[in-house]
Amino acid sequence: MKFCSHCGSDQLRFDIPEGDNRPRYWCPACQTIHYQNPKIVVGALPVWEGRILLCKRAIHPRAGYWTLPAGFMENGETLQEGAARETWEEACATVNISDLYTVFNLPHIYQVYVFFLGELADGKFGVGDESSDAGLFLPEEIPWDELAFPTITRTLKFYLQDMKTGDFPIRVQDIAPLGTPKPKLEP
């Protein structure tokens, strides 16, 4: 940060403000502390008649790879509203959001991913602005080597595992940077 977004001062400091416990950008001119917090990525695992809706990304990062519909949460919306909006934006599909399913902490990139189970309202879908393709996949058709992110792979693997029992518990995991050992997917 070079300027205070509150008063415009170019005298920003990065140290521990009085009364705080960690370094932050703050403005000595107006005393505004500029908090930097993790971004929340919210999405859905939409299903229709045993098939899972996936979108092929048309944007970076990971353009050309498949993903569940998801994206950054917007101000003024709930997690569920964000998941439904992202499904509409990426796959032109209306989804009935149900239970919270997976939560992934990615502290190394300052993000938290939240996925909900969902059912397509009418089975209809298309290709949104951020997608180059969309499709419904049976479990055996999932393009595992072409999935965009570890959060997507883990959510899908949990779902296929949980389909066998019909029990879909909430899963919470940390995802470490590439090159660190991966945790087991079993509960």
Tens-digit pLDDT string for the chain (187 aa): 899 999 999 999 999 999 999 999 999 999 999 999 999 999 999 999 999 999 999 999 999 999 999 999 999 999 999 999 999 999 999 999 999 999 999 999 999 999 999 999 999 999 999 999 999 999 999 999 999 999 999 999 999 999 999 999 999 999 998 776 655 655 4
What pLDDT digit, counting tens, does each position of 145-158 carry?
A: 999 999 999 999 99
On whether both 67 and 148 belong to a single domain, the answer is yes
On whether both 75 and 130 belong to a single domain, the answer is yes
Residue 186 lies inside a defined structural domain of this protein: no
Domain extent at residue 130:
39-174
On whether both 145 and 159 belong to a single domain, the answer is yes
Residue 133 lies inside a defined structural domain of this protein: yes
- What is the reported pLDDT for 184? 60
Number of domains in the chain: 2
Residue 66 lies inside a defined structural domain of this protein: yes
Task: Give the CATH number of the domain where residue 112 resides.
Answer: 3.90.79.10
On whether both 151 and 107 belong to a single domain, the answer is yes
Given a contact cutoff of 8 angstroms between Cβ atoms, the answer to whether 115 and 155 are in contact is yes
103-118 burial code (b ≥16 CB/10 A, e <16) = ebebeeeebbbbbbbb
On whether both 89 and 103 belong to a single domain, the answer is yes
Task: Give the CATH number of the domain where residue 15 resides.
Answer: 2.20.70.10
On whether both 52 and 26 belong to a single domain, the answer is no
Pairing status of strand 33-34 against strand 95-106: unpaired
Structure-token pair, residue 116: 């909900």
Residue 145 lies inside a defined structural domain of this protein: yes
Residue 187 lies inside a defined structural domain of this protein: no
Per-residue three-class SS string for the chain: CCCCCCCCCCCCEEECCCCCCCCEEECCCCCCEECCCCEEEEEEEEEECCEEEEEEECCCCCCCCEECCEEECCCCCCHHHHHHHHHHHHHCCCEEEEEEEEEEEEHHHCEEEEEEEEEECCCCCCCCCCEEEEEEECHHHCCHHHECCHHHHHHHHHHHHHHCCCCCCCEEEECCCCCCCCCCCCC
On whether both 73 and 162 belong to a single domain, the answer is yes
Residue 179 lies inside a defined structural domain of this protein: no
On whether both 52 and 76 belong to a single domain, the answer is yes
On whether both 114 and 126 belong to a single domain, the answer is yes
On whether both 150 and 91 belong to a single domain, the answer is yes
Residue 182 lies inside a defined structural domain of this protein: no
- What is the reported pLDDT for 177? 87
On whether both 7 and 56 belong to a single domain, the answer is no
On whether both 129 and 65 belong to a single domain, the answer is yes
Instruction: In whole angstroms, give the CA distance from residue 170 to residue 148.
Output: 22
